[in-house]
Amino acid sequence: MALLELEDVVAYYGAVPALHGISFTVEEGSIVAILGANGAGKTTTLRAISGMVKVGGGLRFGGRSIAGRSTEEVARLGIAHVPEGRGTLSQLTLLENLQMGSCLRHDRRGIDEDLKRIHEHFPWMRQRSGQVAALLSGGEQQMLAIARALMMRPRLLLLDEPSLGLAPTVVQSIFRIIRTINQEQGVTILLVEQNARTALRTADRAYVLEVGTIAVSGTGDELARDESVRRSYLGY
């Protein structure tokens, strides 16, 4: 079943069109990657889903239309969005960052369980819970951002370039975390990436964006094996 459906979505920054009618679906429980060069519209696609830019066309989440809804409404429906730059609440402590993730939930026990699980997974988040998040390294901030998003107990997790600016080994562990979240907690994931090689290895399905339209689509394996796709769109 499709959890997220985009149908001929158009998005504008002021008068400048950034998406020229893109359509794709994200199946429940899958990992979907959107690839493409700088300026292809990857970030805009995520911002369109979260109601951060003006959009036209059809946007459906879990069967209901989310086009034209405010950012906070979309988040409340179960879409967690880790934005460009990771959205770190940098002057707040690590614990407060995580608490902000669950700030709208009322299931106290569930919140405690989720926090405990995150602390077991990332013991350093417990040890440094009173520190302000600004002191974290880039990789740690990315992990905190993902953990904060998980505290929302989302159905869909949007990740904007999780590998940006990180060392290769850190990128590997971030993608390992992404796969774990998907497999163990059943969270559907839509991520945009410039790092095509790693993303294709992780994704069930991938779309290649080129100046605001979808140029190629297929399973991760298909795109990774396709010589012409690799040369013209992914650059390796």
Partner 1 sequence: MGTDPLLAASVQGVLQQLVFGLATGGIYASLALALILIYRAMEAINFAQGEMATFTTFIAWTLVTQVHLSYWIVFPITVAVAIGGGIAIERIIIRPVERAPILTVVLVTLGLFAVFNGLSGLIWGYTIKTFPTPFPVRPVFIGGVAIGIQDLGLIAVSLVLLLAIYLFFSRTRLGLMMRSSALYPESSRLLGVRVGWMLALGWGLSAGVGAVSGMLIAPITVLDPNLMQAVLLYAFTAAVLGGIESPLGAVVGGLLVGVLLALVGTYVPGLQDLRLVLGFVVIIGVLLFRPGGLVGRAHVTRV
Q: Which residues in this chain contact partner 1 in the complex, by CB under 8 A?
A: 50, 70-72, 75-76, 80-81, 83, 87-92, 96, 99-101, 103-104, 132, 134-137, 148, 152
**Of the two residues 96 and 210, which places its CB atom closer to partner 1 in the complex?**
96
**Of the two residues 13 and 219, which places its CB atom closer to partner 1 in the complex?**
13
Q: How far is the CB of 149 from partner 1 (least distance, A)?
A: 8
Structure token digits, residue 146: 């993902």
**Of the two residues 67 and 92, which places its CB atom closer to partner 1 in the complex?**
92
**Of the two residues 81 and 205, which places its CB atom closer to partner 1 in the complex?**
81
Alpha-carbon distances of 137 from 4, 18, 51, 133, 144, rounded to whole Å: 33, 32, 29, 9, 10
Which ranges of the chain would DSSP assign to H, the alpha helix?
42-49, 71-76, 94-101, 108-121, 123-127, 138-150, 168-185, 196-202, 220-225, 227-229
Alpha-carbon distances of 147 from 37, 62, 157, 166, 181, rounded to whole Å: 27, 23, 11, 17, 10
**Of the two residues 119 and 153, which places its CB atom closer to partner 1 in the complex?**
153
Whole-angstrom distance, CA of residue 166 vs CA of residue 198 = 13
Query: Comparing C-alpha atoms, which of 88, 147, 91, 85 is closest to residue 121?
Result: 147
Q: Are 173 and 181 in contact (CB under 8 A)?
A: no
Q: How far is the CB of 176 from partner 1 (least distance, A)?
A: 24
Q: How far is the CB of 96 from partner 1 (least distance, A)?
A: 6
**Of the two residues 133 and 223, which places its CB atom closer to partner 1 in the complex?**
133
Structure token digits, residue 161: 């370039």
Q: Are 25 and 9 in contact (CB under 8 A)?
A: no
Q: How far is the CB of 219 from partner 1 (least distance, A)?
A: 29
**Of the two residues 10 and 100, which places its CB atom closer to partner 1 in the complex?**
100
Q: Are strands 188-193 and 156-160 parallel, antiparallel or unpaired?
A: parallel
Q: How far is the CB of 94 from partner 1 (least distance, A)?
A: 13
Q: State which H helix or E strand residue 21 sits in.
A: strand 16-27
Q: How far is the CB of 216 from partner 1 (least distance, A)?
A: 29
Q: Are 185 and 212 in contact (CB under 8 A)?
A: no
Q: How far is the CB of 128 from partner 1 (least distance, A)?
A: 13
